[in-house]
Structure 1
C-alpha cells in the first residue's frame, strides 16, 4: 500500500520548496493549489501543519473537490477544519470573493450577454455547487453589456416572494435597459417550479410597465441550466 504523503511545516521544507521562496523566485504560477492556500492561511496548529490544512481545504467540499469546491464554501464551512479559526476563515472567504470578482471583470468589460448560454457560462462555475439558493439580477445596457449585478436573496428562497419593486429599484439606479434574473437549485435539478414561473411572469409584467425588459430568467442546476424565456436577441 502506498504510504500517505506527509506534509511539512514551512520551516521544515527545503528552502527551494517553501511556497514563499518559490513564489518570489519563480512566480505564483509555479505553485500548486495547496501551496497557494498555504501562503494565504500562513500557519498551522500544533497538530495540523499548514500544508495539511491546505490539503484539507481542497478536499472539504464532498460534492466538488479542489479550488472549484472551495469557491462555493462560506466562513462557517471553513471553520469546520481544526486549525481554521475565525480570522483565517474570513481571509479565505475574502480571497474567494476577490477571485470571483476578478474573473468577472473581463465579462463586464467585453462580454455581450445575448443568449441563455452566455449567461449560464458566466454563473455556472460559481452557482452549480452552492448548497444554498441565491437569486441574482443582472442590469444590462442597450448593447447587452452588463452595467452591474447584485445579489437579491440568499438562503432558502421562495421564488413567489421575489419583489419586483426591489429588482427595479436596482435597475433604475443603474439606468438599465434590460435585466436578467439568475438563481440556482441546490438539488441540482434545474426544472422550474410553479413559483419560478409565476415570479418570472410577475417581474416581466412589472418591467413592461416601466420600460425595462426582463430578458431572461436562468435557473442553474448541476452542470446544466434552464432558460425560462428561451432564445432571445437584442
Structure 2
C-alpha cells in the first residue's frame, strides 16, 4: 500500500502553507501553489515532486499555461493523482478561466477581432484538441449566448451551417462569430478553414444573420478571417 506523504512531513522551510501564511501567496512558486492544492504525495514522490511533474505534463507548453489545456484523464497520467485530485485541478483551471472573463459583462460590446480573441484566448490557446464555438450577438454586438459546436479532431469543411444557424435563430441573434483553435499553436488558416468560412457566410446572407468574423486561436495569437465589423 502506498504511503502518502503529507505537507507536514516536509521540512518546515519547504512547506508552502507556512510560507503562504508568513509571506503571502504571491511569494510562492507555481509548484508550491499546486502543492497546496494537491496536499499529499506518494511514497516515491513528495507533493512538490508531483507539482513539478504536473507543470511539465504538457510537453508542448510546460508551465501553468500548459495545465489549462489538460483534461481529467491527462491529470491522472501522473502516479499519485487520482480521481479526486484530478477533479480538484480541473475545478481550479475552470475557475481561472472564468475569472479571466470577469471583465466581459452583459453590457460588453464585442466590436473588434481582438475583443473576441481576448474572450476565448485563455481557454482555447492551450487546448490539446480542437474545438469550434459560435458566439451569438445582438444589434449592439453584446453577446446573447455562445455554444460549443464540435470538440475533438475537427474537419473544418464539415462544419454544418444548418447547426450553426439553428442555434443562432433560437437565440434571436442578429450576427454571429465563429471561433476555433489550432492545437498546433499555428493560427494560419487552412484551405478548409477558408472554405468553411465562406460557406457559413453565404448561408447567413440567405437567412439574414451576418457572419461578422471567424477567429482562429493559436498559441497566444489569432487570425481574423473576415473582419466584417461595425465601428
Paired position in structure 2 for 1:41? 38
Paired position in structure 2 for 1:78? 75
CA contact (8 A) 1:188 1:221 kept: yes
Structure-2 separation of matches of 1:108 and 1:203: 28
Paired position in structure 2 for 1:137? 134
Structure-2 separation of matches of 1:74 and 1:39: 20
Query: Could you say what the CA RMSD is over the residues aligned between the two structures, in angstroms?
Result: 2.5
Paired position in structure 2 for 1:124? 121
CA contact (8 A) 2:97 2:122 kept: no
Counterparts of 1:38-77 in structure 2, within 5 Å, are 38-77=35-74
State the 1:125 CA deviation: 3.4
State the 1:28 CA deviation: 4.2
**Total equivalences in the alignment:** 227
1:206 pairs with 2:208: no
CA contact (8 A) 1:63 1:129 kept: no
State the 1:21 CA deviation: 4.7
Paired position in structure 1 for 2:186? 189
Structure-2 separation of matches of 1:149 and 1:223: 22
SS of residue matched to 2:37:
helix
1:90 pairs with 2:87: yes
| TM-score for both structures, normalised by structure 2 | 0.85
CA contact (8 A) 2:212 2:227 kept: no
| TM-score for both structures, normalised by structure 1 | 0.84
1:106-153 per-residue CA deviation (whole Å, 9 max, x = no partner) reads: 224464321112222322333233222111111222222223222211
State the 1:45 CA deviation: 1.2
Task: Find 1:154's aligned residue among 151, 154, 175.
Answer: 151
Counterparts of 1:89-108 in structure 2, within 5 Å, are 89-108=86-105
Worse-matched range after superposition: 82-91 or 26-35 = 26-35
SS of residue matched to 1:233:
coil
Structure-2 separation of matches of 1:148 and 1:19: 40
Task: Find 2:223's aligned residue among 214, 221, 226.
Answer: 226
State the 1:11 CA deviation: 0.5
1:11 pairs with 2:14: no
1:187-233 per-residue CA deviation (whole Å, 9 max, x = no partner) reads: 33322222212221222222223332111001122333221103522
1:141-178 per-residue CA deviation (whole Å, 9 max, x = no partner) reads: 22222232222111110112112222223223333222
Structure-1 separation of matches of 2:23 and 2:165: 49
Change (3 A) 1:109 1:36: farther
Worse-matched range after superposition: 50-59 or 105-114 = 105-114
